[in-house]
Amino acid sequence: MSDIESIKQLLDAIPDPLGKGGLIVSGRAAAPRLADGRAGLILDVTGLSVTARDALCAEVEARLKTLPGVREVRIAMTSEKPVRMLIAVASGKGGVGKSTVSTNLAVALAKAGVRTGLVDADIYGPSQPRLTASEGKKPVAEGQKLIPVETPFGVPLLSMGHLVKPGQAIAWRGPMAGNALSQLIDAEWANTQILVADMPPGTGDVQLSMVQKHKPAGAVIVSTPQDLALIDAERAIDLFNTADVPIIGIIENMAGYACPHCGEVSDPFGAGGAEAAAKAMGVPFLGRIPLDMAIRKASDAGTPPAAGNSPQARAFEEIAAKVAAWISQHGG
């Protein structure tokens, strides 16, 4: 067996950190060579965090030095910049359930096999730590980048709620909030394909920073059926249209209330308004989410309904399927 074949066998005995077989089979290690006691190779570190990259390089070096005659190891690292799509979940006003929709959309996308991260871009009113049972967790930093915290649902998350004390007021002017948003979005998201951004309500400084600095690939608009919420939703759509950000579609939240005692469905906020508005504006209608006590209780407990198999989960799964189809058509 040649020296190069020995190196290949040794490298292929090291598992790819992303679970794609050995380093040679997965294509992560290439062009092994040995000359004058120096072993070398090219190592693709795409999709690896700084910690995982350094650990892999150390293991490769240690393994290669076990070969007879190898006294030095040289590793040339390469990395493709990940192609990551940013999806903004926005609303024209508060109180329409946008954060709950953002959480469950991210969880449902992850369940469907899309590598999804969640950014709590609501700098002044972060709620994602509560909705994902990650309160009290603190992100660490590697170099100049934050490492997202893990949630129980396979969706990495970053939120200002992880960086300040619970209940602490965030009284920042626009530029400071914009800089904070950049820290969250430009974090070390590893091999995440999609970032779902839970936007603040309205059309203020944070929204402008988002569309100017981080231009989302698309936006999902959340509204309730009532007329006032729809008027505000139109303003949010206008903001994204002005910035040439495509509208993926509108979600009608709190659509129909089923009495837990008699089962009768009533419409305290009206019915079908968001679907009618979507048709009038020429944007897709993604679906309805009911006004359901089970969704509220699960959200307050930090257990997103989309993580389970309940009837409430199916509404989010159907919407996530439409969003995933849009992502697939637009290069995600």
Report the candidate in 264, 267, 263, 219 with the shortest Cα–Cα distance to residue 241. Answer: 219
Which structure tokens are listed for 246? 């495509």
Give the pLDDT confidence of 180-193 residue by residue, as tens digits: 788 889 889 988 88
pLDDT at 171 over 50: no
Query: What is the 3 state secondary structure string of 73-95?
Result: EEEEEECCCCCCEEEEEECCCCC
Parallel, antiparallel, or unpaired: how do β-strands 194-198 and 116-120 relate? parallel
The model's pTM: 0.74
Find which of 51-60, 101-110, 141-150 is predicted with most confidence, using mean pLDDT: 101-110
pLDDT, average across residues 249-278 = 79
* Packing angle of the helix pair 311-329, 98-111 (nearest 10 deg): 70
* Phi, psi (rounded to 5 degrees) for 247: -90, 115
Which among 192, 194, 167, 197 is positioned nearest to 182, based on CA atoms?
Answer: 197
> For residues 51 and 48, what is the distance between their CA atoms, to the nearest angstrom?
8
* Beta-bridge mates of residue 279: none
Position 164 confidence tier, pLDDT thresholds 50, 70, 90? low
pLDDT of residue 167: 54
